[in-house]
């Protein structure tokens, strides 16, 4: 009886764990394995163990550029997450206002940026919108008589441009999550609050926010990691081969890509990836101390 109680929950989780084991954990383990070999262009099939040599080389890559990239990455993640949460929350609140008849239409329209393949969106923004001479953004500005702006050639405008694009692509998801979360709140709470004479802000802060916090936590955490790992936007906007824009913006992952992955030295790249991964784990453990157990 006791045995059954102990193992029952695990019985439920086995199918998922097998999947996760094969698709998520195995690559990590395999990468770990390769990091101890010298697999590269010159030893494509006939690679052998080289011990910790790749790790020593990887640690040398943690130079000033890497530190700067860490700072940029944190700033990037923090700003994006704060803006996403606040903006999405209020838009979702608005969408859930009673008697908004066209809510369904609005919700669907707002999902379009997310439905569009990311690859297309990024290229479209790069060529069609941020292009200095003919892009949509500058065309609109000239309509209003404002002079053209160079969006991607210096680091600060490039950072902001990437951020705008990231928000555009990521907000639909957050809005949808908040929307679902808001719908799970028991309306009777609001009714009793209204009867007690509570205004909009009180209702929002004291009822809505606490209620959605727990449902939203997984989505927020996942989005934080995704934002942290975001590679495509920054790479395709500013660093694509043959189309360097002049900005030297780097996040951890673009930096690592440029320094290690381009070399086709899989042994070294694997070691660098493991180092970055360990770094991320340490950082999240550190931050986790602030999160209560119930949050998960």
Residues 233-272 binding another protein (CB under 8 A) are 241-246, 248, 253, 256-266, 268-270
Least gap, CB of 67 to another protein (angstroms): 17
37 bridge partner residues: 49
Reading the block at residue 179, the tokens are: 């929307």
DSSP string, 195-245: HTT--HHHHIIIIIHHHHHHHHHHHHHHHHHHHHH--HHHIIIII-TT---
> In this chain, which stretch among 66-74, 77-85, 112-120, 201-209 interacts with another protein, using CB under 8 A?
112-120
Q: Which is nearer to another protein, 7 or 202 (CB)?
A: 7
Outline where DSSP puts E strands in the chain.
none
Q: Which of 1, 41, 156, 195 binds another protein (CB under 8 A)?
A: 41
> Is residue 120 part of the contact set for another protein (CB under 8 A)?
yes
Q: Binding marks (x or -) toward another protein, 134..153, rule CB under 8 A?
A: xxx--x--xx---------x
Size of interface with another protein, in residues (CB under 8 A):
128
Q: Which of 57, 62, 74, 193 binds another protein (CB under 8 A)?
A: 57
Contacts to another protein from residues 202-221, by CB under 8 A: 214-219, 221
Long-range contacts of 205-214 (CB under 8 A, 24+ apart): 208/93, 208/182, 211/181, 211/184, 211/185, 212/89, 212/178, 212/181, 212/182, 212/185, 214/294, 214/295
Least gap, CB of 26 to another protein (angstroms): 5
Least gap, CB of 82 to another protein (angstroms): 19
Measure CA of the first residue to CA of the last residue in the chain; give whole Å: 29
């Amino acid at each position: 009886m006791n045995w059954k109680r102990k193992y029952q929950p695990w019985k439920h989780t086995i199918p998922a764990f097998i999947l996760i084991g094969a698709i998520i954990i195995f690559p990590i383990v395999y990468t770990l394995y390769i990091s101890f070999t010298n697999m590269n262009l010159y030893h494509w099939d006939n690679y052998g163990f080289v011990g910790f040599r790749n790790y020593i080389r990887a640690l040398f890559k943690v130079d000033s550029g890497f530190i700067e990239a860490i700072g940029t990455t944190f700033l990037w993640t923090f700003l994006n997450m704060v803006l996403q949460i606040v903006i999405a929350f209020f838009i979702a609140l608005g969408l859930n206002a009673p008697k908004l008849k066209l809510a369904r239409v609005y919700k669907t329209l707002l999902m379009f940026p997310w439905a569009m393949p990311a690859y297309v969106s990024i290229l479209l923004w790069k060529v069609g919108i941020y292009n200095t001479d003919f892009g949509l953004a500058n065309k609109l500005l000239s309509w209003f008589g404002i002079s053209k702006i160079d969006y991607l050639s210096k680091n600060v405008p490039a950072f902001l441009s990437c951020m705008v694009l990231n928000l555009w692509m990521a907000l639909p998801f957050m809005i949808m999550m908040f929307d679902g979360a808001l719908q799970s709140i028991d309306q009777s709470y609001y009714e009793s609050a209204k009867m007690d004479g509570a205004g909009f802000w009180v209702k929002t802060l004291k009822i809505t926010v606490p209620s959605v916090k727990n449902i939203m936590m997984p989505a927020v955490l996942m989005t934080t990691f995704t934002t942290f790992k975001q590679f495509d936007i920054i790479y395709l906007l500013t660093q694509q081969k043959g189309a360097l824009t002049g900005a030297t913006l780097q996040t951890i992952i673009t930096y690592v890509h440029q320094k290690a992955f381009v070399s086709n030295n899989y042994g070294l790249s694997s070691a660098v990836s493991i180092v970055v991964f360990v770094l991320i784990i340490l950082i999240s453990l550190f931050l986790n101390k602030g999160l209560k157990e119930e949050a998960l």
